């Protein structure tokens, strides 16, 4: 029994290290890109469609990638490509907590996209990056419904 617990801890630590490495690599690629101006804000985000976000089940996001603010645009770059949201023409709102993580929604042309940013700690989720992102969004769009934290 003790051996199983030790193996489980080792596997969890390895998975967390791989995820952290993936996040650092994605952010480094963005910040070292010659084609982009240096973004005002960037972080590793998880993205969910409305179907996944409102659905029940184990899966709570569709994918992950780097999100960055450039002026009033929020750009989300994942394996599926680049999505750009003009925040002056979108509805931004706090979407609540799901799986103990804060989420925001960005509604663009009638389609809602959900985003969160967190770091998996040993015993809890660290959502300080999400709080920074929400503060930046409030600067860009003061009329947004993000007064939550």
pLDDT at site 29? 59
| The pLDDT of residue 109 is above 80 | yes
What is the token pair recorded at 34?
A: 């010659």
Closest to 131 (Cα-Cα) out of 64, 24, 41 = 41
Angle at CA of residue 65, ends 60 and 69, nearest 5°: 115
Q: Can you give the residue ranges of every domain in the chain? A: 2-140
What is the value of pTM for the model shown?
0.73
Residue 89 to residue 77: CA distance in whole angstroms: 20
pLDDT at site 106? 92
Per-residue pLDDT tens for 25-46?
555 555 555 445 566 788 889 8
Q: Which CATH code fits 2-140?
A: 2.30.29.30
pLDDT at site 111? 92
Mean pLDDT, the chain, whole residue set: 77
Report residue 144: phi and psi, to 5°: -65, 160
Cβ burial of 2 (10 Å; 0-12, 13-18, 19+) is: exposed
Residue 6 to residue 89: CA distance in whole angstroms: 51
Which pLDDT band holds residue 13 (cuts at 50, 70, 90)? low
């Amino acid at each position: 029994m003790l051996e199983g617990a030790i193996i489980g801890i080792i596997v969890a630590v390895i998975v967390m290290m791989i995820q952290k490495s993936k996040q650092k690599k994605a952010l480094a690629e963005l910040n070292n890109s010659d084609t982009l101006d240096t973004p005002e804000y960037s972080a590793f985000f998880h993205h969910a469609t409305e179907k996944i976000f409102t659905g029940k089940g184990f899966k709570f996001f569709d994918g992950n990638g780097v999100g960055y603010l450039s002026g009033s645009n929020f750009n989300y770059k994942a394996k599926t490509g680049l999505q750009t949201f003009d925040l002056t023409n979108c509805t931004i709102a706090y979407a609540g907590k799901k799986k103990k993580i804060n989420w925001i929604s960005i509604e663009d042309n009638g389609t809602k996209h959900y985003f969160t940013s967190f770091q998996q700690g040993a015993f809890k989720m660290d959502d300080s990056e999400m709080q920074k992102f929400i503060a930046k969004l409030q600067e860009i769009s003061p009329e947004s419904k993000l007064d939550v934290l």
